Amino acid sequence: MYHFFVGCEQIQGDVARIEGGDVNHIKNVLRMKVGEELAVSNGVDRREYRCRIEEFMEDSVICRVLSAEEADTELPARIFLFQGLPKGDKMEMIIQKAVELGVYEVIPMAARRCVVKLDEKKAKSKTARWQTISEAAAKQSGRRIIPGVKSVMTVREAMVYAAGMDVRLIPYEKAKGMEKTREIIRSLKPGQDIAVFIGPEGGFEEEEVKMAAEAGICPITMGKRILRTETAGLAMLAWMVYQLEESSI
């Protein structure tokens, strides 16, 4: 069944209204007809609304809500990926794959070794683009919420943002003790908010890692090999997803 995201205000009682670019997609690409069924979600409350197309307007598709149920496609914990800004279009790939893996929110970080420097205008444009990629990945992977992509933060701002989270980790190539990493991953529990800090190309500076440790963010190792920035976060997410979904079965 085809699935679309709509704003909360576009679902009123037993009527759902689809607007924007999805209208053309439904009419002219999918060539759907009155009476056919589709699903919509508001991207916030994890609910999926099964609907029947009632009418095609010039700029909207009017649907009748037939049923609503909470989907089980979300992780039982919320994972926040704090990602150091990488070069080129790597951030787009990172966001796409992180959303597929179940991340709750992505926070781009301007770390000291970031090659990319975004002014306010470019940062705003990039964030809008990244949010569009998050929505597309959420659709593709069958999720019922759209993970948010925050505006670019400094490392210090990111640490403040993560201050109240239950588990806060920073993979670092100079950290030692894989057993400690295993213990932390095994201890993850449903209901937790989990922060993962990933450095840019070249990694975090020692001063940044020291600042993180002083803020209660735990440096951990991911093994004997140094992973690229676009690999490290996704590998970490995969470990966490396995643990969280295994413990929630």
**Residue-level pLDDT at 23:** 94
Within the chain, all domains assigned CATH 3.40.1280.10 are found at: 78-248
Q: Which helix (H) or strand (E) holds 122?
A: helix 120-140
Domain 78-248 in CATH 3.40.50.10470? The answer is no
pLDDT band at 37 (very low <50, low <70, confident <90, very high): very high
Strands 47-56 and 37-41, by their bridges, are antiparallel
pLDDT over 90 (residue 61): yes
CB 135 within 8 A of CB 160: no
The CATH code of the domain at 3-70 is 2.40.240.20
| Mean pLDDT value of segment 67-86 | 91
58-85 burial by CB neighbour count: b if 16+ within 10 A, else e? Answer: eeebebebeebeebeeebebbbbbbbbb
Within the chain, all domains assigned CATH 2.40.240.20 are found at: 3-70
Q: 249 vs 192, which has greater pLDDT?
A: 192
| Mean pLDDT value of segment 201-213 | 90
In the chain the beta strands, taken as DSSP E runs, fall at 3-5, 11-12, 15-19, 37-41, 47-56, 60-70, 78-84, 105-110, 148-149, 153-154, 167-171, 193-198, 218-220
**Residue-level pLDDT at 10:** 93
pLDDT band at 248 (very low <50, low <70, confident <90, very high): low
Q: Which of 110-114, 131-135, 173-177 has the lowest mean pLDDT?
A: 173-177
Calculate the average pLDDT of the chain. Answer: 91
pLDDT over 60 (residue 218): yes
**Residue-level pLDDT at 197:** 97
pLDDT band at 247 (very low <50, low <70, confident <90, very high): low
CB 29 within 8 A of CB 159: no
Q: What is the pLDDT of residues 95-116, one digit of tens each?
A: 999 999 999 999 999 988 887 7
Query: Whose structure tokens read 């800090």?
Result: 197
| Mean pLDDT value of segment 65-90 | 91
